[in-house]
Chain A
Amino acid sequence: MKRLAAIAAPLVLVAILLAIWEVSCRALNVPAYFLPAPSDIGRSLAENAPLLLVSAWRTLEMALLALLTASIIACSLALVTATSRTLERAVQPLAVVLQVTPVVAIAPLVVIWAGLAHPERAVVALAAVVAFFPIFSGALTGLKAADPDLERLFDLYGATPTQKLARLRLPSAVPFLLEGHKVAAGLAIIGAVVAEFVAGSGGAQGLAWRILEAGNRLQTAKMFAALAVLGLLAALLNGAVQLIERRALTWWRGR
Protein backbone atom coordinates (compact mmCIF):
# COMPACT_ATOMS: atom_id res chain seq x y z
CA MET A 1 0.00 0.00 0.00
CA LYS A 2 2.80 2.38 0.95
CA ARG A 3 4.68 1.40 -2.19
CA LEU A 4 1.63 2.10 -4.31
CA ALA A 5 1.26 5.53 -2.73
CA ALA A 6 4.95 6.27 -3.36
CA ILE A 7 4.49 5.53 -7.06
CA ALA A 8 1.06 7.17 -7.40
CA ALA A 9 1.79 10.44 -5.55
CA PRO A 10 4.21 11.97 -8.10
CA LEU A 11 2.05 10.74 -11.01
CA VAL A 12 -1.02 12.43 -9.53
CA LEU A 13 0.92 15.68 -9.06
CA VAL A 14 2.13 15.58 -12.68
CA ALA A 15 -1.44 14.94 -13.89
CA ILE A 16 -2.77 17.91 -11.88
CA LEU A 17 -0.03 20.24 -13.16
CA LEU A 18 -0.61 19.13 -16.77
CA ALA A 19 -4.36 19.68 -16.38
CA ILE A 20 -3.84 23.22 -15.05
CA TRP A 21 -1.44 23.90 -17.94
CA GLU A 22 -3.89 22.56 -20.54
CA VAL A 23 -6.87 24.49 -19.16
CA SER A 24 -4.93 27.77 -18.86
CA CYS A 25 -3.57 27.52 -22.40
CA ARG A 26 -7.06 27.03 -23.78
CA ALA A 27 -8.76 29.61 -21.59
CA LEU A 28 -6.14 32.31 -22.19
CA ASN A 29 -5.67 31.50 -25.88
CA VAL A 30 -1.87 31.38 -25.57
CA PRO A 31 -0.27 31.18 -29.04
CA ALA A 32 1.15 27.68 -29.74
CA TYR A 33 4.61 28.98 -30.74
CA PHE A 34 4.89 30.67 -27.30
CA LEU A 35 3.56 27.93 -25.04
CA PRO A 36 1.90 24.90 -26.59
CA ALA A 37 -0.70 23.01 -24.55
CA PRO A 38 0.26 19.53 -23.26
CA SER A 39 -2.10 17.98 -25.81
CA ASP A 40 -0.16 19.69 -28.64
CA ILE A 41 3.11 18.44 -27.14
CA GLY A 42 1.67 14.93 -26.88
CA ARG A 43 0.63 15.03 -30.53
CA SER A 44 4.08 16.24 -31.57
CA LEU A 45 5.67 13.54 -29.42
CA ALA A 46 3.61 10.86 -31.15
CA GLU A 47 4.34 12.26 -34.63
CA ASN A 48 8.09 12.58 -34.05
CA ALA A 49 8.50 9.50 -31.86
CA PRO A 50 10.79 7.50 -34.21
CA LEU A 51 13.13 10.45 -34.79
CA LEU A 52 13.19 11.43 -31.11
CA LEU A 53 13.88 7.88 -29.97
CA VAL A 54 16.76 7.52 -32.42
CA SER A 55 18.15 10.86 -31.19
CA ALA A 56 17.72 9.78 -27.57
CA TRP A 57 19.62 6.60 -28.34
CA ARG A 58 22.42 8.69 -29.93
CA THR A 59 22.65 10.91 -26.86
CA LEU A 60 22.67 7.88 -24.56
CA GLU A 61 25.29 6.18 -26.71
CA MET A 62 27.56 9.22 -26.61
CA ALA A 63 27.07 9.64 -22.85
CA LEU A 64 27.85 5.98 -22.13
CA LEU A 65 30.90 6.06 -24.39
CA ALA A 66 32.05 9.18 -22.55
CA LEU A 67 31.43 7.45 -19.20
CA LEU A 68 33.51 4.46 -20.31
CA THR A 69 36.33 6.67 -21.57
CA ALA A 70 36.30 8.77 -18.39
CA SER A 71 36.21 5.64 -16.24
CA ILE A 72 39.23 4.05 -17.91
CA ILE A 73 41.32 7.23 -17.83
CA ALA A 74 40.28 8.28 -14.31
CA CYS A 75 40.78 4.83 -12.77
CA SER A 76 44.20 4.27 -14.33
CA LEU A 77 45.32 7.77 -13.40
CA ALA A 78 44.07 7.31 -9.82
CA LEU A 79 45.90 3.98 -9.59
CA VAL A 80 49.17 5.58 -10.69
CA THR A 81 48.59 8.68 -8.55
CA ALA A 82 47.80 6.70 -5.41
CA THR A 83 51.23 5.04 -5.45
CA SER A 84 53.04 8.24 -4.53
CA ARG A 85 52.19 11.17 -2.29
CA THR A 86 54.28 13.53 -4.45
CA LEU A 87 52.52 12.46 -7.63
CA GLU A 88 49.19 13.02 -5.93
CA ARG A 89 50.20 16.52 -4.87
CA ALA A 90 51.24 17.21 -8.46
CA VAL A 91 48.10 15.86 -10.13
CA GLN A 92 45.41 17.02 -7.69
CA PRO A 93 45.46 20.78 -8.55
CA LEU A 94 45.34 20.05 -12.27
CA ALA A 95 42.37 17.76 -11.79
CA VAL A 96 40.59 20.44 -9.75
CA VAL A 97 41.25 23.09 -12.43
CA LEU A 98 39.81 20.72 -15.02
CA GLN A 99 36.77 20.22 -12.82
CA VAL A 100 36.01 23.89 -12.14
CA THR A 101 36.49 25.02 -15.77
CA PRO A 102 33.02 25.22 -17.37
CA VAL A 103 32.69 22.67 -20.14
CA VAL A 104 31.15 25.24 -22.52
CA ALA A 105 34.37 27.27 -22.32
CA ILE A 106 36.58 24.47 -23.57
CA ALA A 107 34.03 23.13 -26.05
CA PRO A 108 35.05 25.30 -29.05
CA LEU A 109 38.65 24.10 -28.71
CA VAL A 110 37.64 20.47 -28.55
CA VAL A 111 35.35 20.93 -31.55
CA ILE A 112 38.31 22.22 -33.56
CA TRP A 113 40.55 19.36 -32.43
CA ALA A 114 37.94 16.70 -33.11
CA GLY A 115 37.56 18.05 -36.63
CA LEU A 116 34.49 19.82 -37.88
CA ALA A 117 33.46 16.65 -39.71
CA HIS A 118 33.27 14.67 -36.43
CA PRO A 119 31.17 16.62 -33.92
CA GLU A 120 30.20 13.36 -32.17
CA ARG A 121 33.85 12.87 -31.18
CA ALA A 122 33.88 16.32 -29.64
CA VAL A 123 30.65 15.54 -27.76
CA VAL A 124 32.07 12.31 -26.34
CA ALA A 125 35.35 14.00 -25.38
CA LEU A 126 33.58 16.88 -23.62
CA ALA A 127 31.15 14.63 -21.78
CA ALA A 128 34.14 12.52 -20.71
CA VAL A 129 35.85 15.62 -19.31
CA VAL A 130 32.77 16.33 -17.20
CA ALA A 131 32.46 12.71 -16.05
CA PHE A 132 36.18 12.40 -15.26
CA PHE A 133 36.38 14.19 -11.93
CA PRO A 134 33.87 12.31 -9.76
CA ILE A 135 35.38 8.98 -10.82
CA PHE A 136 38.94 10.18 -10.30
CA SER A 137 38.35 11.65 -6.87
CA GLY A 138 36.23 8.66 -5.83
CA ALA A 139 38.93 6.22 -6.90
CA LEU A 140 41.65 8.24 -5.20
CA THR A 141 39.70 8.50 -1.94
CA GLY A 142 38.74 4.83 -2.13
CA LEU A 143 42.31 3.64 -2.64
CA LYS A 144 43.25 5.40 0.59
CA ALA A 145 40.16 4.36 2.53
CA ALA A 146 41.32 0.93 3.72
CA ASP A 147 40.83 0.24 7.44
CA PRO A 148 44.20 1.23 9.02
CA ASP A 149 44.08 -1.76 11.41
CA LEU A 150 43.50 -4.08 8.47
CA GLU A 151 46.46 -2.43 6.77
CA ARG A 152 48.56 -3.15 9.89
CA LEU A 153 47.49 -6.78 9.74
CA PHE A 154 48.62 -7.00 6.11
CA ASP A 155 51.99 -5.56 7.18
CA LEU A 156 52.20 -8.01 10.05
CA TYR A 157 51.56 -10.93 7.72
CA GLY A 158 54.27 -9.69 5.38
CA ALA A 159 52.03 -8.76 2.42
CA THR A 160 53.86 -7.44 -0.64
CA PRO A 161 52.78 -4.07 -2.14
CA THR A 162 51.05 -5.93 -4.98
CA GLN A 163 49.15 -8.15 -2.53
CA LYS A 164 48.15 -5.08 -0.54
CA LEU A 165 46.85 -3.37 -3.66
CA ALA A 166 44.95 -6.35 -5.04
CA ARG A 167 43.60 -7.77 -1.79
CA LEU A 168 43.11 -4.68 0.35
CA ARG A 169 43.16 -1.31 -1.38
CA LEU A 170 41.22 -2.18 -4.54
CA PRO A 171 38.40 -4.03 -2.74
CA SER A 172 38.22 -1.24 -0.14
CA ALA A 173 37.76 1.26 -2.96
CA VAL A 174 34.70 -0.45 -4.44
CA PRO A 175 31.98 1.60 -2.65
CA PHE A 176 33.77 4.85 -3.56
CA LEU A 177 34.13 3.76 -7.19
CA LEU A 178 30.43 2.94 -7.37
CA GLU A 179 29.47 6.34 -5.93
CA GLY A 180 31.84 8.10 -8.35
CA HIS A 181 30.39 6.29 -11.37
CA LYS A 182 26.84 7.07 -10.26
CA VAL A 183 27.53 10.80 -10.14
CA ALA A 184 29.56 10.61 -13.36
CA ALA A 185 26.72 8.89 -15.26
CA GLY A 186 24.37 11.81 -14.55
CA LEU A 187 27.06 14.32 -15.46
CA ALA A 188 27.86 12.47 -18.70
CA ILE A 189 24.31 12.99 -19.98
CA ILE A 190 24.43 16.68 -19.05
CA GLY A 191 27.87 16.94 -20.65
CA ALA A 192 26.72 15.25 -23.85
CA VAL A 193 23.76 17.63 -24.22
CA VAL A 194 25.73 20.79 -23.42
CA ALA A 195 28.54 19.75 -25.75
CA GLU A 196 26.14 19.10 -28.62
CA PHE A 197 24.62 22.56 -28.15
CA VAL A 198 28.04 24.17 -28.27
CA ALA A 199 29.18 22.09 -31.22
CA GLY A 200 26.13 23.61 -32.93
CA SER A 201 26.13 21.04 -35.69
CA GLY A 202 23.67 18.36 -36.72
CA GLY A 203 26.45 15.86 -37.21
CA ALA A 204 25.98 14.16 -33.86
CA GLN A 205 22.19 13.79 -34.29
CA GLY A 206 21.49 13.76 -30.53
CA LEU A 207 18.55 15.16 -28.60
CA ALA A 208 20.20 18.56 -28.13
CA TRP A 209 20.29 19.01 -31.90
CA ARG A 210 16.57 18.14 -32.11
CA ILE A 211 15.86 20.93 -29.60
CA LEU A 212 18.07 23.44 -31.45
CA GLU A 213 16.58 22.50 -34.80
CA ALA A 214 12.98 22.73 -33.62
CA GLY A 215 13.74 26.04 -31.87
CA ASN A 216 15.12 27.57 -35.06
CA ARG A 217 11.93 26.56 -36.84
CA LEU A 218 9.74 27.84 -34.02
CA GLN A 219 8.30 24.32 -33.54
CA THR A 220 7.85 24.87 -29.82
CA ALA A 221 5.75 21.73 -29.27
CA LYS A 222 8.55 19.62 -30.76
CA MET A 223 11.08 21.36 -28.48
CA PHE A 224 8.98 20.34 -25.49
CA ALA A 225 8.62 16.82 -26.86
CA ALA A 226 12.41 16.47 -27.20
CA LEU A 227 12.81 17.93 -23.72
CA ALA A 228 10.35 15.38 -22.30
CA VAL A 229 12.26 12.53 -23.95
CA LEU A 230 15.54 13.92 -22.57
CA GLY A 231 14.09 14.14 -19.05
CA LEU A 232 12.79 10.60 -19.29
CA LEU A 233 16.14 9.36 -20.58
CA ALA A 234 18.06 11.01 -17.75
CA ALA A 235 15.61 9.69 -15.16
CA LEU A 236 15.82 6.14 -16.54
CA LEU A 237 19.61 6.24 -16.59
CA ASN A 238 19.64 7.58 -13.03
CA GLY A 239 17.31 4.80 -11.90
CA ALA A 240 19.36 2.12 -13.64
CA VAL A 241 22.61 3.38 -12.17
CA GLN A 242 21.11 3.54 -8.66
CA LEU A 243 19.85 -0.01 -9.00
CA ILE A 244 23.27 -1.21 -10.16
CA GLU A 245 24.96 0.61 -7.28
CA ARG A 246 22.61 -0.89 -4.69
CA ARG A 247 23.00 -4.41 -6.09
CA ALA A 248 26.77 -4.09 -6.27
CA LEU A 249 26.99 -2.77 -2.70
CA THR A 250 24.83 -5.64 -1.46
CA TRP A 251 27.17 -8.06 -3.21
CA TRP A 252 30.24 -6.30 -1.78
CA ARG A 253 28.95 -6.28 1.80
CA GLY A 254 27.08 -9.55 1.58
CA ARG A 255 23.95 -7.89 2.92
Chain B
Amino acid sequence: MTIASLHAVEVDYPRGKALGPFDLSLAVGEIVALVGPSGCGKSTALRLLAGLETPTRGSVQRAAGRGETSVVFQSPTLAPWLSATANVALPLELAGMARGQARAEAVAALDRVGLSGAEDARPAQLSGGMAMRVSLARALVTRPKLLLLDEPFAALDEITRRALADDVLALCAELKPAVVFVTHNVEEAVYMASRVIVMTPGPGRAAGETAIDAPIPRPAQFRTTPRFREAAEHVSAQLASAMSVAA
Protein backbone atom coordinates (compact mmCIF):
# COMPACT_ATOMS: atom_id res chain seq x y z
CA MET B 1 0.00 0.00 0.00
CA THR B 2 1.25 3.47 -0.83
CA ILE B 3 1.32 6.14 1.87
CA ALA B 4 2.40 9.02 -0.34
CA SER B 5 3.74 9.49 -3.82
CA LEU B 6 5.04 12.03 -6.30
CA HIS B 7 4.09 11.53 -9.98
CA ALA B 8 6.30 13.26 -12.55
CA VAL B 9 6.46 16.35 -10.36
CA GLU B 10 8.35 19.42 -11.56
CA VAL B 11 8.94 22.58 -9.57
CA ASP B 12 9.98 25.85 -11.21
CA TYR B 13 11.33 28.71 -9.13
CA PRO B 14 11.84 32.23 -10.49
CA ARG B 15 15.59 31.49 -10.68
CA GLY B 16 15.02 28.33 -12.71
CA LYS B 17 13.89 24.76 -12.52
CA ALA B 18 14.52 23.21 -9.10
CA LEU B 19 13.16 19.71 -9.39
CA GLY B 20 12.05 17.08 -11.80
CA PRO B 21 10.54 15.37 -13.45
CA PHE B 22 10.73 13.18 -10.37
CA ASP B 23 8.79 10.12 -9.22
CA LEU B 24 8.68 8.66 -5.74
CA SER B 25 6.37 6.15 -4.14
CA LEU B 26 6.43 5.32 -0.44
CA ALA B 27 5.15 2.06 1.01
CA VAL B 28 3.95 1.70 4.60
CA GLY B 29 6.83 1.65 7.08
CA GLU B 30 9.46 2.11 4.38
CA ILE B 31 12.52 4.30 4.97
CA VAL B 32 13.77 6.09 1.87
CA ALA B 33 16.83 8.33 1.78
CA LEU B 34 17.26 11.08 -0.81
CA VAL B 35 20.93 11.83 -1.38
CA GLY B 36 22.29 14.57 -3.55
CA PRO B 37 24.45 17.67 -3.64
CA SER B 38 23.20 20.94 -2.13
CA GLY B 39 20.54 22.58 -4.26
CA CYS B 40 19.45 19.39 -6.03
CA GLY B 41 15.85 19.89 -4.96
CA LYS B 42 15.73 17.14 -2.33
CA SER B 43 14.31 19.52 0.27
CA THR B 44 11.82 20.73 -2.34
CA ALA B 45 10.67 17.12 -2.85
CA LEU B 46 10.22 16.89 0.92
CA ARG B 47 8.16 20.08 1.05
CA LEU B 48 5.93 18.70 -1.73
CA LEU B 49 5.28 15.59 0.37
CA ALA B 50 4.57 17.80 3.40
CA GLY B 51 2.09 19.84 1.38
CA LEU B 52 4.04 23.03 2.13
CA GLU B 53 4.54 23.58 -1.60
CA THR B 54 2.61 22.62 -4.72
CA PRO B 55 4.31 21.30 -7.85
CA THR B 56 4.36 23.39 -11.02
CA ARG B 57 3.53 20.22 -13.00
CA GLY B 58 2.73 16.67 -11.98
CA SER B 59 0.73 15.45 -9.01
CA VAL B 60 1.26 14.69 -5.34
CA GLN B 61 -0.63 12.13 -3.33
CA ARG B 62 -0.09 12.39 0.42
CA ALA B 63 -1.36 11.61 3.89
CA ALA B 64 -3.24 14.87 4.27
CA GLY B 65 -5.01 14.38 7.60
CA ARG B 66 -4.04 16.45 10.63
CA GLY B 67 -0.91 15.06 12.21
CA GLU B 68 -0.57 12.32 9.59
CA THR B 69 2.54 13.97 8.18
CA SER B 70 5.35 15.28 10.39
CA VAL B 71 8.52 17.16 9.51
CA VAL B 72 11.83 17.53 11.31
CA PHE B 73 13.96 20.33 9.95
CA GLN B 74 17.72 20.81 9.98
CA SER B 75 17.43 23.04 13.04
CA PRO B 76 15.24 21.95 15.97
CA THR B 77 12.74 24.76 15.21
CA LEU B 78 11.38 24.92 18.75
CA ALA B 79 9.45 27.84 20.21
CA PRO B 80 11.91 29.43 22.69
CA TRP B 81 9.14 30.68 24.98
CA LEU B 82 7.68 27.19 25.51
CA SER B 83 8.98 24.35 27.68
CA ALA B 84 10.01 21.08 26.03
CA THR B 85 6.66 19.54 27.00
CA ALA B 86 4.66 22.48 25.65
CA ASN B 87 6.64 22.36 22.39
CA VAL B 88 5.90 18.65 21.95
CA ALA B 89 2.24 19.10 22.93
CA LEU B 90 1.79 21.89 20.36
CA PRO B 91 0.61 19.76 17.37
CA LEU B 92 -1.94 18.02 19.58
CA GLU B 93 -3.21 21.26 21.09
CA LEU B 94 -3.46 22.88 17.65
CA ALA B 95 -5.61 19.92 16.60
CA GLY B 96 -7.96 20.67 19.50
CA MET B 97 -6.88 18.08 22.05
CA ALA B 98 -7.49 19.13 25.67
CA ARG B 99 -4.41 20.69 27.26
CA GLY B 100 -4.03 18.15 30.06
CA GLN B 101 -4.19 15.14 27.77
CA ALA B 102 -1.89 16.74 25.20
CA ARG B 103 0.70 17.48 27.90
CA ALA B 104 0.49 13.91 29.21
CA GLU B 105 1.11 12.50 25.73
CA ALA B 106 3.95 14.97 25.24
CA VAL B 107 5.62 13.77 28.43
CA ALA B 108 5.32 10.19 27.19
CA ALA B 109 6.78 11.18 23.80
CA LEU B 110 9.72 12.91 25.52
CA ASP B 111 10.29 9.76 27.52
CA ARG B 112 10.40 7.72 24.29
CA VAL B 113 13.21 9.89 22.89
CA GLY B 114 15.16 9.55 26.15
CA LEU B 115 14.38 12.98 27.58
CA SER B 116 12.48 12.16 30.75
CA GLY B 117 13.61 14.74 33.29
CA ALA B 118 13.87 17.55 30.74
CA GLU B 119 10.12 18.18 30.52
CA ASP B 120 10.25 21.69 31.94
CA ALA B 121 13.50 22.76 30.24
CA ARG B 122 13.39 25.57 27.72
CA PRO B 123 15.06 25.11 24.31
CA ALA B 124 17.83 27.54 25.31
CA GLN B 125 18.76 25.23 28.18
CA LEU B 126 19.10 22.15 25.96
CA SER B 127 22.15 20.96 24.02
CA GLY B 128 21.86 20.68 20.22
CA GLY B 129 21.29 16.94 20.39
CA MET B 130 18.65 17.25 23.12
CA ALA B 131 16.82 20.00 21.23
CA MET B 132 16.80 17.74 18.15
CA ARG B 133 15.30 14.95 20.27
CA VAL B 134 12.53 17.33 21.42
CA SER B 135 11.90 18.15 17.76
CA LEU B 136 11.73 14.43 17.01
CA ALA B 137 9.33 13.84 19.91
CA ARG B 138 7.10 16.61 18.55
CA ALA B 139 7.12 14.96 15.11
CA LEU B 140 6.24 11.55 16.54
CA VAL B 141 3.64 12.64 19.12
CA THR B 142 0.85 12.66 16.53
CA ARG B 143 1.80 9.08 15.46
CA PRO B 144 2.29 10.17 11.85
CA LYS B 145 1.96 7.85 8.85
CA LEU B 146 4.67 9.82 7.09
CA LEU B 147 7.76 11.25 8.77
CA LEU B 148 9.87 13.69 6.77
CA LEU B 149 13.42 14.34 7.98
CA ASP B 150 15.23 17.26 6.32
CA GLU B 151 18.94 16.78 7.18
CA PRO B 152 18.04 16.48 10.86
CA PHE B 153 21.56 15.61 12.02
CA ALA B 154 23.49 18.12 9.90
CA ALA B 155 24.19 20.51 12.78
CA LEU B 156 25.25 17.84 15.29
CA ASP B 157 28.62 16.34 16.20
CA GLU B 158 29.51 12.83 15.01
CA ILE B 159 28.88 11.00 18.30
CA THR B 160 25.50 12.65 18.81
CA ARG B 161 24.43 12.03 15.22
CA ARG B 162 25.28 8.33 15.43
CA ALA B 163 23.38 7.90 18.70
CA LEU B 164 20.42 9.82 17.32
CA ALA B 165 20.44 7.78 14.07
CA ASP B 166 20.08 4.55 16.06
CA ASP B 167 17.33 6.07 18.21
CA VAL B 168 15.40 7.29 15.16
CA LEU B 169 15.57 3.80 13.63
CA ALA B 170 14.40 2.19 16.88
CA LEU B 171 11.48 4.62 17.14
CA CYS B 172 10.54 4.05 13.51
CA ALA B 173 10.61 0.28 14.03
CA GLU B 174 8.18 0.80 16.90
CA LEU B 175 5.79 3.35 15.33
CA LYS B 176 6.20 2.22 11.70
CA PRO B 177 5.77 5.50 9.81
CA ALA B 178 7.00 5.74 6.23
CA VAL B 179 10.13 7.90 6.40
CA VAL B 180 11.80 10.15 3.87
CA PHE B 181 15.26 11.12 4.99
CA VAL B 182 17.06 13.88 3.13
CA THR B 183 20.84 14.12 3.50
CA HIS B 184 24.01 14.81 1.58
CA ASN B 185 25.93 12.26 3.64
CA VAL B 186 26.16 8.94 1.77
CA GLU B 187 27.08 6.77 4.78
CA GLU B 188 24.25 8.23 6.84
CA ALA B 189 21.80 7.52 4.00
CA VAL B 190 22.95 3.91 3.70
CA TYR B 191 22.78 3.45 7.47
CA MET B 192 19.29 4.92 7.84
CA ALA B 193 17.39 3.78 4.78
CA SER B 194 16.07 0.61 3.23
CA ARG B 195 16.19 2.37 -0.14
CA VAL B 196 18.66 5.10 -1.16
CA ILE B 197 17.78 7.34 -4.10
CA VAL B 198 20.61 9.41 -5.58
CA MET B 199 19.60 12.71 -7.15
CA THR B 200 21.31 14.76 -9.86
CA PRO B 201 22.31 18.40 -9.29
CA GLY B 202 19.46 20.88 -9.93
CA PRO B 203 17.01 20.31 -11.44
CA GLY B 204 16.96 17.15 -9.32
CA ARG B 205 16.09 13.85 -10.94
CA ALA B 206 16.58 10.29 -9.80
CA ALA B 207 20.05 9.16 -10.94
CA GLY B 208 19.96 5.74 -9.34
CA GLU B 209 18.51 3.65 -6.59
CA THR B 210 20.10 1.19 -4.17
CA ALA B 211 18.24 -1.18 -1.89
CA ILE B 212 19.92 -1.82 1.48
CA ASP B 213 19.01 -5.31 2.50
CA ALA B 214 19.59 -5.43 6.27
CA PRO B 215 17.40 -5.43 9.38
CA ILE B 216 16.20 -2.19 11.00
CA PRO B 217 17.22 -1.18 13.63
CA ARG B 218 20.71 -1.88 12.34
CA PRO B 219 22.75 -4.61 14.03
CA ALA B 220 25.77 -3.55 16.09
CA GLN B 221 28.89 -2.77 14.05
CA PHE B 222 26.76 -2.55 10.89
CA ARG B 223 29.04 0.19 9.57
CA THR B 224 31.97 -2.26 9.45
CA THR B 225 30.16 -5.01 7.51
CA PRO B 226 31.05 -5.63 3.83
CA ARG B 227 27.37 -5.17 2.90
CA PHE B 228 27.38 -1.64 4.33
CA ARG B 229 30.75 -0.80 2.69
CA GLU B 230 29.64 -2.13 -0.70
CA ALA B 231 26.35 -0.25 -0.60
CA ALA B 232 28.08 2.97 0.44
CA GLU B 233 30.65 2.60 -2.38
CA HIS B 234 27.88 1.87 -4.86
CA VAL B 235 25.88 4.96 -3.82
CA SER B 236 29.03 7.09 -3.85
CA ALA B 237 29.80 5.94 -7.40
CA GLN B 238 26.26 6.79 -8.51
CA LEU B 239 26.55 10.20 -6.91
CA ALA B 240 29.94 10.83 -8.55
CA SER B 241 28.65 9.90 -12.02
CA ALA B 242 25.52 12.03 -11.50
CA MET B 243 27.75 14.99 -10.60
CA SER B 244 30.12 14.45 -13.57
CA VAL B 245 27.23 14.25 -16.05
CA ALA B 246 26.00 17.61 -14.76
CA ALA B 247 29.48 19.12 -14.85
Taking CB atoms, residues of chain B closer than 8 Å to A158 are 66, 94-95
Residues of B within 8 A of A168 (CB): 79
B37 interface residue, CB < 8 Å from A? no
Which residue of chain B lies nearest to A168 when distances are taken between CB atoms in the complex? Answer: B79
Partner of B94 from A149, A167, A253 at Cβ < 8 Å: A167
Is there contact, CB below 8 Å, between A157 and B95?
yes
Distance to closest chain A CB from B147 (angstroms): 12
Q: Which of the 9-residue segments B68-76, B187-195, B232-240 touches chain A? A: B68-76
Whether B122 and A157, one on each chain, are in contact in the complex, defined by CB atoms closer than 8 angstroms, is no
Q: Which residues of B contact A150 (CB under 8 A)?
A: 77-79
- Contacts A174-B81, A253-B124 given; does A156 touch B73 at CB 8 Å: no
Q: Is the CB of B80 within 8 A of A157?
A: no
Q: Are B50 and A254 in contact (CB under 8 A)?
A: no
| B179 interface contact, C-beta 8 A | no
A171, CB-defined interface residue at 8 Å:
yes
Cα distance, A157 to B125, chains bound together (Å): 26
Alpha-carbon gap, A254 to B83, bound state (A): 8
Q: For the complex, is A153 an interface residue (Cβ under 8 Å from B)? A: yes
Taking the closest CB of chain B, its distance from the CB of A10, in whole angstroms, is 33
User: Does A47 have its Cβ within 8 Å of any Cβ on chain B?
Assistant: no
Q: Is the interface of A mostly helix, strand, loop or mixed?
A: helix
Contacts of B21 in A (CB 8 A): none
Question: Is the Cβ of A171 less than 8 Å from the Cβ of B51?
Answer: no
What is the interface size of chain B, counting residues whose CB is below 8 A from a CB of the partner? 27
A170-191 Cβ-contact flags toward B at 8 Å (1 or 0): 0100100000000000000000
Smallest CB gap from A251: residue in B: B81
Is B36 part of the contact surface with A, judged by Cβ < 8 Å?
A: no
Chain B contacts of A154 at CB under 8 A? Answer: 94
B128 within 8 A of A: no
Chain A residues with CB under 8 Å of B217's CB are none
Q: Do A147 and B125 have beta carbons less than 8 Å apart?
A: no
Taken together as a complex, chains A and B put the C-alpha atoms of A147 and B52 apart, in Å, by: 15
Q: How many residues of A contact B (CB 8 A)?
A: 20
B67 is contacted by which of A152, A157, A253 (Cβ under 8 Å)?
A157
User: Given A152, A163, A252, which contacts B80 in the complex, CB threshold below 8 Å?
Assistant: A252
Residues on B with C-beta less than 8 A from A147 are: 77
Closest A residue, CB atoms, query B120: A254
Judge if B90 is at the interface, Cβ distance under 8 Å. Answer: yes
In the bound complex, CA of A62 to CA of B118 (Å): 46
Which chain A residues border B81 with CB–CB below 8 Å?
A: 171, 174, 252-254
- The answer to whether A163 touches B94 (Cβ under 8 A) is yes
User: Could you tell me if B75 and A149 are in contact, using CB atoms closer than 8 angstroms?
Assistant: yes
State whether the Cβ of A159 lies closer than 8 Å to any Cβ in chain B. Answer: yes
19 A–B contacts from the bound complex (CB under 8 Å): A149-B73, A150-B77, A152-B52, A152-B71, A153-B77, A155-B52, A156-B52, A156-B70, A156-B71, A157-B67, A157-B142, A159-B94, A167-B94, A168-B79, A171-B81, A171-B82, A253-B81, A254-B121, A254-B124
